């Protein structure tokens, strides 16, 4: 009899559970003359960092070659525009809804007394200097092909990939050799990704353990309220928005979607890195029916600009910080937050002023949840756009 191989999601869950348990056990201990927390950060976290570095190492070539390969396989530049248009519209709409949901939940928490005024003496924060919208647009386009790859500047890597794919298509027969090279590199890095992913249970355990050990006691007190409201927002948004849009636009059931997304979601939760989770998200999306060429374009773009979880965090923290300082936000100010946070999904800072010091201590705990929501939204978009493109092609036949 053949033994049935346990799925990767099971082993990642085991790794997550072991890491959490180890972190809890280490909190009160003293090992080799140091606290358990210091031991976790000094001797366990580095192994998780190695795993995360391996994922980040493979992400840039995967994005570069998979997007270019996807453009080539579409065989039509207009089709790339169609996929890109649907993707951006979906991302912007879901992000705007995420902020509105966050503001509603946070306002309810404030009106019921869950958020209260706190002592804020001595809190200081100097925000980074902002960029103009034109500077942001200019920065999307690289001045050379090497720096974006070396620095993992994902928007610029995506632009390079698109132009590489466009150039190969426009070259016709003379571009066939380059097309085969791109496809070959894409397959090679996919196989490297498979090797790295097999280490994910160990990597997840080593990443989550120091987080639990360090933040276990510190999440108690007044900040539990804002943390709870943010996580309610994460869960409601993921279940409500993604389930509804997947069912209506792609015919995919929520149970099927979330069960297939489990490995990517657990990896995102433990690593708090959308880019590092990208290989998992790509694999899970394909299992859900997303076409390789579409997912290879939609997911890297989403890892860069789609920040539903971040938008929820921004909305909740804005109201919490205003409450802490005794400030009542008007409807106009809340609408400004919605607009600003939606535009901020491209990567700019989201929480204003000195209030960042209130939540900075447990930001990693917020980040774990918001990253999970971000990559789940990326996958939902990849599946939906793939299904819509399939229907569009079927109507043409």
- Main-chain phi, psi angles of 30, to 5 degrees: -130, 125
In the block, residue with structure tokens 């609408």: 335
- As a whole number, the mean pLDDT across the chain is 82
Q: How far apart are CA 381 and CA 120, in angstroms?
A: 41
Residue 79's pLDDT band, with cuts at 50, 70 and 90, is confident
The token duo for 19 is 């890491």
What is the number of residues in the chain? 397
Q: SS in 3 state form for 146-213? A: CHHHHHCCHHHHHHHHHHHHHHHHHHHHHHHHHHHHHHHHHHHHHHHHHHHHCCHHHHHHHHHHHHHH
The pLDDT assigned to 247 comes to 92
Q: How far apart are CA 246 and CA 261, in angstroms?
A: 13
Q: How far apart are CA 57 and CA 76, in angstroms?
A: 30
CB atoms within 10 A of CB 64: 23
User: Over the stretch 349-391, which tens digit does the pLDDT of each residue have?
Assistant: 333 333 555 566 567 778 888 889 999 999 999 999 999 988 8
230, 238 in Cβ contact below 8 A?
Answer: no
CA nearest neighbour of 273 among 98, 42, 66, 56: 56
Q: How far apart are CA 185 and CA 291, in angstroms?
A: 19
154, 273 in Cβ contact below 8 A?
Answer: no
User: Over the stretch 321-347, which tens digit does the pLDDT of each residue have?
Assistant: 777 777 777 777 776 766 665 565 554
User: Over the stretch 19-77, which tens digit does the pLDDT of each residue have?
Assistant: 889 988 998 888 878 888 899 999 999 998 998 888 888 888 988 888 888 888 877 78
Residue 272's pLDDT band, with cuts at 50, 70 and 90, is confident
User: Over the stretch 182-238, which tens digit does the pLDDT of each residue have?
Assistant: 999 988 988 888 888 888 889 888 988 888 888 765 554 556 788 889 999 999 999
For the cut 70, the answer to whether the pLDDT of residue 257 exceeds it is yes
């Amino acid at each position: 009899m053949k033994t049935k191989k346990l799925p990767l999601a099971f082993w990642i869950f085991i790794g997550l559970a072991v890491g959490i348990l180890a972190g809890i056990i280490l909190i009160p201990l003293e090992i080799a003359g140091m606290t358990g927390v210091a031991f976790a950060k000094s001797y366990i976290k580095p192994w998780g960092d190695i795993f995360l570095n391996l994922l980040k190492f493979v992400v840039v070539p995967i994005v570069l070659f998979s997007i270019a390969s996807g453009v080539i396989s579409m065989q039509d530049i207009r089709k790339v525009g169609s996929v890109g248009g649907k993707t951006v519209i979906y991302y912007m709409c879901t992000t705007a809804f995420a902020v509105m949901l966050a503001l509603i939940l946070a306002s309810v928490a404030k009106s019921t007394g869950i958020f209260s005024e706190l002592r804020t003496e001595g809190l200081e924060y100097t925000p980074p200097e902002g960029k103009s919208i034109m500077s942001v647009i200019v920065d999307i386009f690289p001045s050379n092909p090497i720096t974006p790859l070396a620095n993992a500047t994902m928007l610029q890597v995506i632009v390079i990939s698109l132009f590489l794919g466009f150039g190969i298509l426009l070259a016709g027969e003379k571009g066939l050799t380059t097309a085969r090279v791109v496809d070959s590199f894409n397959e090679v890095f996919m196989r490297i990704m498979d090797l790295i992913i097999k280490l994910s249970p160990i990597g997840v355990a080593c990443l989550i353990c120091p987080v639990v050990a360090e933040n276990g006691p510190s999440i108690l007190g007044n900040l539990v309220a804002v943390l709870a409201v943010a996580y309610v927002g994460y869960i409601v948004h993921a279940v409500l928005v993604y389930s509804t849009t997947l069912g209506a636009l792609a015919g995919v059931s929520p149970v099927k979607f979330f069960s297939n997304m489990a490995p990517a979601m657990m990896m995102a939760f433990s690593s708090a890195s959308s880019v590092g989770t990208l290989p998992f998200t790509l694999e899970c999306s394909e299992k859900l029916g997303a076409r390789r060429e579409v997912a290879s374009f939609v997911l890297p773009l989403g890892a860069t600009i789609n920040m539903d979880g971040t938008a929820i965090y921004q909305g909740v923290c804005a109201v919490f910080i205003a409450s802490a300082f005794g400030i009542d936000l008007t409807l106009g100010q809340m609408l400004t937050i919605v607009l600003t946070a939606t535009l901020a999904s491209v990567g700019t800072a989201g929480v204003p002023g000195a209030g960042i010091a209130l939540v900075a201590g447990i930001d990693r705990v917020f980040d774990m949840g918001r990253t999970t929501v971000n990559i789940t939204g990326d996958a939902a978009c990849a599946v939906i756009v793939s299904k819509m493109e399939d229907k569009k092609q079927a109507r043409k036949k």
